[in-house]
Structure 1
Amino acid sequence: MSANRMVLDNQEAYLTGTEMELMERLLPLSDCRVLELGCGSARITRRLARAHPDCHFIATEVDSVQHEKNLGDTAGNISFRLEGAQSIGEPDQSVDVVLMLKSLHHVPGSVMPQAMSEVARVLKPGGIAYFSEPVYQGEFNALMSLIHDEKRVRELAFKTIQSLSERDDMELLGQYFLNVPGLYGSWESFESRFLNITHTKLKIDKPRYRQIKTAFMEHMGPRGAEFLKPHRIDLLRKRNIR
C-alpha cells in the first residue's frame, strides 16, 4: 500500500499469511540488534532468534509475572528485561529494528507519545520500526470484544503511530493488512491464552464467562476453532538526517 497516507483499515488490501512470513520479507534481519517492546511470552521473537543466530534480540515486558517466566526459558541470543516502552534502557541510535507486536494498545495512553519518542531515539539512522496491531473487525474481534473491548485504545495506538510517522526524523515506508490464521484446539487452550492472563485485570463475571465460552464454541469444528485474525502492520524508518 502507498506510504503517502496512513489508514486505520483497508478491506481491499488484505492478504492471508503469518507475521513471521511478513517480517522475514520486510525486515533487515542480518547481523543486527532487534528490540521487542511488550514481548509477552516473546513467541515470535523466539522464532526469529532461532532463525537468525547472528542477530541479538532484546525483549522487554512490564508484567513481572510474565517476565519471570521468560527468564526461565532463555535463548543464547535473547536478553529479557523488565521495563516499559516509555523508558527504554538502550543507548541512542543503538538498535536496527524495533518490534511492537500487538502491544502498543496495551501501553497507557498517557505515555504512548513518550514511548514513540523512545522508539525514535534508540533506532539507528535507517533503522526500522515494525508495529503490528489487531484491526477492530471480524469474527475473532467480536469474540475478543466480549473479553475486553479495545476499540478506543486501538484507535489511540493508531493515532500515536501516525504522529510518529509525521516526525521530521521518521518516515512511513508502508502499511500492510494481514489476515493471520488462528487455530485453537479446545476451549481450555483459548481460555489459557486469553483469559488466564496477568498483564491485564479482566472483569468477567459468571454470565459473561458463559457468554464468551458459548461464542467460542460456535466456531468449533473437527480441528478446533478456526479464525482469520485481521492485523494492520505499520512500517516506519528512521531518517538519516545530517
Structure 2
Amino acid sequence: MRLNDPDAYQTATDIALLAELLDLRGARVLELGCGAAVATRALVEQLGAAEVVATEVDATQLAKNCAITDLPQVRFVVGGAEAIGAPDASFDAVLMFKSLHHVPVAQLDTALAEIHRVLKPGCPACFIEPVYWGEFNALMAMVHEERAEREAAFAALERAVASGRFVLEAQRFVQIPGTIADWDAFAERYLQVSYRPDPIEAERVARIRAAFEQHLTPTGAHFLKPHRIDLLRRQPGLV
C-alpha cells in the first residue's frame, strides 16, 4: 500500500473510478460520514445502489440531509464509524468519501473493526481520502492542517490489511477536477462550516484569501484535487 504516488495519478471523478472498481447495482450500501450527501446521491442515481444508509455526526448537516425528499432509497441517520448501529454482516458494501481521517485517531482501529463487522463476508469497503500533496492541498492546509490525521488514517488501513481481516484489492490515485467560482464560494464551502465551532481569526482568513485569489481566472479558480482510493475486501470466514 502506498500513501502517495505522484507518478500514478489519473484525472477523473471519484464516482467514475468507483464505477470501474465496484458494481453496486442492487446493493445495500453503508456510507459513513456522508456530509452534504453529494456522493450519497451519486451512489443511487449513477451507481445503482438499491438502498443506502448514510450516517453523519454533524447535527446541522444531518438535519439538512433529512429534509431531502427525492432520495427514497436513502435513510439518513446520526452516527460515526466507530460505533455503527447495524447488525453484523448487514451490508453489501461500505464507503467513506473523504471522512476516514475525520475519525478520532484513537478510534480508527475500532472504526475499521466495526466496518468489518457490518460487512457481509467477501464484500468491499472503499475509502476515498484526500492526499497531502499538490497546490490544492497547500491551500487547504492553510485552513486546516491535516497531515497527521491523514497519515494516521492510512496507517489504520495498513493495520486492517495486515491483521488479515481485509485484503487490499485495488489502489488508485486520482486528480479530481474542481472549479470554485470566487472567494465567497470558497469561504462558504470551506470556512463557514457547521462542524468547526470556532471561527478562523481574521488575519488568517486574509492570508487564505490572498492565496486563493492567486488561482482565480475569469472563469473561476480551477484545481486538481489529489485523492487516493483504497478498495479493501472483507476476508471470508474471519471474525
TM-score calculated relative to the size of structure 2: 0.96
Tell me if structure 2 keeps the 8 A contact 1:175–1:233.
yes
Matched-pair identity in %: 45
Matched to 2:223, the amino acid is F
Counterpart-to-counterpart distance in 1, 2:100 and 2:177:
21
Q: Deviation of residue 52 (structure 1)?
A: 4.6
Report what 1:41 is aligned to.
Answer: 36
Report what 1:67 is aligned to.
Answer: 62
1:138 maps to 2:155: no
Report what 1:152 is aligned to.
Answer: 148
Write out aligned runs for 1:59-138 (5 A).
Answer: 59-74=54-69, 75-138=71-134
Q: Secondary structure at the residue paired with 1:228? A: strand
Q: Which runs of 4+ in 1 moved over 3 A?
A: none
Q: Select the residue among 225, 233, 238 that pairs with 2:234.
A: 238
Tell me if structure 1 keeps the 8 A contact 2:128–2:230.
yes
Counterpart-to-counterpart distance in 2, 1:167 and 1:37:
22
Tell me if structure 1 keeps the 8 A contact 2:173–2:229.
yes
Matched to 1:135, the amino acid is V
Q: In the comparison of the two structures, how many residue pairs are matched?
A: 237
Counterpart-to-counterpart distance in 1, 2:29 and 2:196:
26
Q: Deviation of residue 202 (structure 1)?
A: 4.9
Q: Deviation of residue 54 (structure 1)?
A: 5.5
Counterpart-to-counterpart distance in 1, 2:193 and 2:159:
30
Report what 1:208 is aligned to.
Answer: 204
Give ranges in structure 1 of 5+ residues lacking alignment. Answer: 1-5
Q: Secondary structure at the residue paired with 1:125? A: coil
Deviates more, 1:35-44 or 1:202-211: 202-211
Q: Secondary structure at the residue paired with 1:90? A: coil
Report what 1:184 is aligned to.
Answer: 180
Q: Secondary structure at the residue paired with 2:123? A: strand
Counterpart-to-counterpart distance in 2, 1:202 and 1:17:
34
Residues 206 and 64 of structure 1: CA distance in aligned 2, closer, same or farther (over 3 Å): same
1:9 maps to 2:7: no
Q: Deviation of residue 200 (structure 1)?
A: 2.8
Write out aligned runs for 1:23-34 (5 A).
Answer: 23-34=18-29
Deviations 1:36-63 (CA, angstroms, capped at 9, x unpaired)? 1011111011122123555101100001
Matched to 1:70, the amino acid is N
TM-score calculated relative to the size of structure 1: 0.94
Tell me if structure 2 keeps the 8 A contact 1:176–1:233.
yes
Deviations 1:135-169 (CA, angstroms, capped at 9, x unpaired)? 11111001001101000100000001111112223
Tell me if structure 1 keeps the 8 A contact 2:23–2:47.
no
Give ranges in structure 2 of 5+ residues lacking alignment. Answer: none
Deviations 1:175-225 (CA, angstroms, capped at 9, x unpaired)? 100000110011111111111111233552111000001111110112100
Residues 107 and 200 of structure 1: CA distance in aligned 2, closer, same or farther (over 3 Å): farther
Report what 1:3 is aligned to.
Answer: none
